[in-house]
Structure 1
Amino acid sequence: MIELAEIDTTCSSTGPYRHVNEGPATTPERVIAIPDNADGRDPFYLASRVVSDQDLDSLLRNRKRGRKDHVANFYREQNDEIRRFLAEPEKEGTAAGDKENASKGLAAAIAIKGSFVANILLSILQLYAAISSGSMSLFATMADSIFDPFSNLILNLAHKTSVKWDIEKFPSGKARMETIGNIVYACLMATVSVVLVVESLRTILSHSGEDVLTINIPSVISVGIAFAVKFALFLYCFSLRNSDSQIRMLWEDHRNDLFVNAFGILTNVGGGKLKWWIDPAGAIVISIAILASWSKTAYEQFQLLAGVSASNSYIRFLIYKALTFDERIQKIDTCRAYYSGPKLIVEVDVVMEPATPLWEAHNVSEALQVALERLSQVERAYVHVDFETDHKPEHRSQ
């Protein structure tokens, strides 16, 4: 069984690659035959290395119990990676791609505007529930809910700002404004959570009265309605979460609200049926959960803003696309991909023959740049042409 050789993120002239015209690559086990359905998009014959479902099942039966799942998972991930390498190019810039993008844009607009309208109505409903019941748990759910419309405004403003900019003032675009908006929202929610923890502790320390609280049935029903609406929004945004960072933030918000509302109802009823302190203690738990969740989100967004690298799997994908883009590209000297806000900046150093005319090298590299920028995760691509791989790195910072 042949394993797919890992594509290094920096490939030298001594790397494992051969040009498509030089014949099939070899391994110590056997020569990889050209599959019957091979085409120009598979010069390394990767399709022949996909492990069939029958072989995976056989592997699970024959391997020792401690290793079989790990080995099978490795081959499944390898199969997925090969299929992504060999997938058809993205359709952006074509009529089909424009239609698909328009459909995605409509779905995204429904998710964003629908969430905004629903959050306004639910914040009013939960404000009534908290005031009428006096429950700290419901105040925690109310505080989380009442900030949602404001957060939607922040995210929407950041999104609009990121797609409209003065090219003279911001030559590389303002996509990072969207990430900044996400960070502001996360910090706002974390601050509200700290305030709720302090208020709940104050309530516990200053309490003197009944052992149980009075349950306000209309308040519980109001939060139950909010839970049902949030669940519907969660399901809708779940299907679109990978298409836009703003929708992903809304999906995370709806997911967190499901826990907040369900736990708020539970602790409110517990405070009315069992012990009074269950209600403020529930508010503390809810607030700490919100604080932890949004702190994690803020950290992830800061990573994107700081320029964290793309995954090794995606860099291998970029290398394969660049290496097989044009037969005049002989090697890939360096490939880097790092975040600059919600999308990636890609830098690729390709190697061509020293005698390649300038106009020809320019046309190939510019076409590769355009192709890379059509990828949905890429914000901007830079292609550098070299004639050898023995030189030092181009940038002093390395």
Structure 2
Amino acid sequence: MTSSLDKGKGQNGTAITTAAGPAEINSDPISPLGSTATLSAFPVEVQISSSPKNGTAQPSLPADEVDVTDPYALRGQKRDKDTYRKEDSGLSQRRHKKVKKYYNRQNALIDAYLNSADEEALEVEDNLKNGGKVRFAVNASFVCNFCLFIIQLYAAISTGSLALFATAADAFMDLVSSIVMLVTSRMAATPKVHKYPVGRKRVETVGIILFCALMTTVAVQLIIESGRALGHGPPDSKQLEIIPIVFVSTAIFAKGSLFVYCFLLRRYPAARIFMIDHRNDIAVNLFGLIMSIVGSRFLKVWFLDPTGAICIALLILWSWASTAFEHVWYLVGKSAPQDFLNKVVYMSITHDERIEKIDTVRAYHAGDKFYAEVDIIMSETEPLKVTHDVAQTLQRKLEGLADVERAFVHVDYDFEHDVFEEHKALYEKTKPKPARKPLAERVRGRLSIIGFGPDGTQVNSDASVTSSADEVQQPAQKKGIVARIFGRR
């Protein structure tokens, strides 16, 4: 995101307008922050203006009445349920739901702006409170996957069911993947500053990608084996015993319990990936058990067993491939969501009164968390000590956000420049391509080559071209229509 935002200017977004004091905020029920947004999920940004509105000076409060923690009086602009119910009483039920969703999002944004300064302390407190729970979730998932692989392997061998072999293979890959996640989580928690100056948090993202790669590999293998079984025809009849059913049912219950536990801790990357794994395993084991029972009890539908295995494999493939691509883009450097950029803009513009403008704000993934870059504008007469201290405190403040791994703040005195000149060009500049002629004109040109007029009628080439019979050779007139259209002129 690039902007030139000052205490007098901003671009698309929120609607906070101030003079010398707190905010005057549009009270439009569809845009409580004065946003130009409609009910769609339009990005909300902080837009601060020191210029009079419609030529009229805006009211301001005395300096001693301004809340330092909320200089634009956002807290008073939150809408509770009773307020928007009265305002939207005449709306249809569908539109009322959209309005409710919009206000809930706006309230969440205001809370995020106002609580941004406390995120670091809250994160430390949260780690002290829930760090042990996350470690327990990872370790318990590993132990559970090991035990379930043993009992599911026994169930698959004793029955010969391809669907149960699919669940056993899935359990084995869960075991291997759990080892990968366990190792990468411990590596991320034990930094080596001299070898890895900015820590090893991104190794957790690499571990997730490896996890997904292993799971997609087993899914492809299951599809191949199940297709081969379908080609061989009906297998020898073999009744499904009660013990394998009990074992698989135990696996489903254990996975369900771990899914609920990890779901409560889903904001942590390791717990979230295990939550997805347990969710998939519940569906895989349940579906595999049903297909195995039906395929063994009813010989006329023997194909349900390998077909169920293929369905399970496709579910595994889709789930983990999509997760892998999501985290690959995190490593590539995908941009942060618009709401997060808005919060960074708000924190920067309200950080210090000596910051005159916000020139540029960027935030992008470096693994699961973000790197944030902010260019601020300060007066060229400010001493170096002042500019350094303001930039450093802002940098430390941004790094206190729960989603930020590193922050970089650059101070400039000029904002009337091309922001792309500050760094090496990412891509080579190429000469602009000449403008193409309109499609109709290009078609007429091609038709004229092969002897057709604009209306589609054939035109005698002798009428437009005068040549002697000796100059025009007969073989040349038998050229194919494709060659005549796309050949060289």
TM-score relative to the length of structure 1? 0.89
2:245 to 204, 212, 220: 220
Counterpart contact for 2:152–2:247, Cα < 8 Å: yes
SS at match of 2:372: strand
Rounded Cα–Cα distance in structure 2 between residues aligned with 1:346 and 1:152:
32
Change (3 A) 1:263 1:97: closer
Matched, 1:355 2:381: yes
Matched, 1:250 2:274: yes
Change (3 A) 1:395 1:19: farther
Change (3 A) 1:40 1:91: same
Q: Partner of 1:265 in structure 2?
A: 289
Change (3 A) 1:62 1:11: farther
AA of the residue aligned to 1:48:
G
Using the TM superposition, give the Cα deviation of residue 173 of structure 1 relative to its aligned residue in structure 2, in angstroms: 2.8
Using the TM superposition, give the Cα deviation of residue 28 of structure 1 relative to its aligned residue in structure 2, in angstroms: 7.2
Q: Partner of 1:162 in structure 2?
A: 188
Change (3 A) 1:356 1:33: closer
Counterpart contact for 1:307–1:338, Cα < 8 Å: yes
Using the TM superposition, give the Cα deviation of residue 250 of structure 1 relative to its aligned residue in structure 2, in angstroms: 0.9
Q: Partner of 1:3 in structure 2?
A: none
SS at match of 1:11: strand
Q: Partner of 1:12 in structure 2?
A: 5
Q: Partner of 2:258 in structure 1?
A: 233
1:86 to 109, 114, 123: 114
Counterpart contact for 2:359–2:415, Cα < 8 Å: yes
Using the TM superposition, give the Cα deviation of residue 59 of structure 1 relative to its aligned residue in structure 2, in angstroms: 4.3
Q: How does 1:184-203 map to 2 (within 5 A)?
A: 184-203=210-229
SS at match of 1:381: strand
Q: Partner of 1:23 in structure 2?
A: 21
Deviates more, 1:75-84 or 1:15-24: 15-24
Deviates more, 1:71-80 or 1:155-164: 155-164
1:316 to 321, 324, 342: 342
Using the TM superposition, give the Cα deviation of residue 118 of structure 1 relative to its aligned residue in structure 2, in angstroms: 1.0
Q: Partner of 2:393 in structure 1?
A: 367
2:96 to 58, 68, 92: 68
Deviates more, 1:327-336 or 1:307-316: 327-336
SS at match of 2:118: coil
* Aligned alpha-carbon RMSD (Å): 2.6
Using the TM superposition, give the Cα deviation of residue 225 of structure 1 relative to its aligned residue in structure 2, in angstroms: 0.3
SS at match of 1:147: helix
- 1:90-125 CA-to-partner distances (Å, cap 9, x unmatched) read 364x6x864542222111111111111111111111
Counterpart contact for 1:263–1:286, Cα < 8 Å: yes
- 1:55-109 CA-to-partner distances (Å, cap 9, x unmatched) read 22234431245533323322221111112211263364x6x86454222211111
SS at match of 1:89: helix
Q: Partner of 1:151 in structure 2?
A: 177
Rounded Cα–Cα distance in structure 1 between residues aligned with 2:194 and 2:68:
41
- 1:233-271 CA-to-partner distances (Å, cap 9, x unmatched) read 1011111111x2122111111111111111111111211
Change (3 A) 1:65 1:185: same
Identical-residue share of aligned pairs (%): 36
Change (3 A) 1:97 1:279: closer
AA of the residue aligned to 1:75:
Y
Q: Partner of 1:4 in structure 2?
A: none
AA of the residue aligned to 1:192:
V
Q: Partner of 2:481 in structure 1?
A: none
- Structure of greater Rg: 2
Deviates more, 1:65-74 or 1:75-84: 65-74
Q: Partner of 1:54 in structure 2?
A: 82
Using the TM superposition, give the Cα deviation of residue 185 of structure 1 relative to its aligned residue in structure 2, in angstroms: 1.2
Using the TM superposition, give the Cα deviation of residue 221 of structure 1 relative to its aligned residue in structure 2, in angstroms: 0.9
Rounded Cα–Cα distance in structure 1 between residues aligned with 2:312 and 2:215:
12
Change (3 A) 1:324 1:107: same
Matched, 1:397 2:395: no
Tell me, which stretches of 5 or more residues in structure 1 are unaligned? 1-7
Rounded Cα–Cα distance in structure 2 between residues aligned with 1:368 and 1:221:
59
Rounded Cα–Cα distance in structure 2 between residues aligned with 1:32 and 1:342:
44
AA of the residue aligned to 1:116:
F
Q: Partner of 1:5 in structure 2?
A: none
Rounded Cα–Cα distance in structure 2 between residues aligned with 1:66 and 1:101:
40
AA of the residue aligned to 1:270:
V
Counterpart contact for 1:60–1:72, Cα < 8 Å: no
Matched, 1:177 2:170: no
Q: Partner of 1:281 in structure 2?
A: 307
AA of the residue aligned to 1:229:
A
AA of the residue aligned to 2:249:
G
Using the TM superposition, give the Cα deviation of residue 327 of structure 1 relative to its aligned residue in structure 2, in angstroms: 2.3
Compare relative contact order (CA 8 Å, sep 6+) and give the higher one, 1 or 2.
1
Rounded Cα–Cα distance in structure 2 between residues aligned with 1:98 and 1:312:
25
Counterpart contact for 2:159–2:238, Cα < 8 Å: no
AA of the residue aligned to 2:256:
F
Change (3 A) 1:107 1:32: farther
- Number of positions where the alignment pairs a residue of Structure 1 with one of Structure 2: 387
Counterpart contact for 1:9–1:319, Cα < 8 Å: no
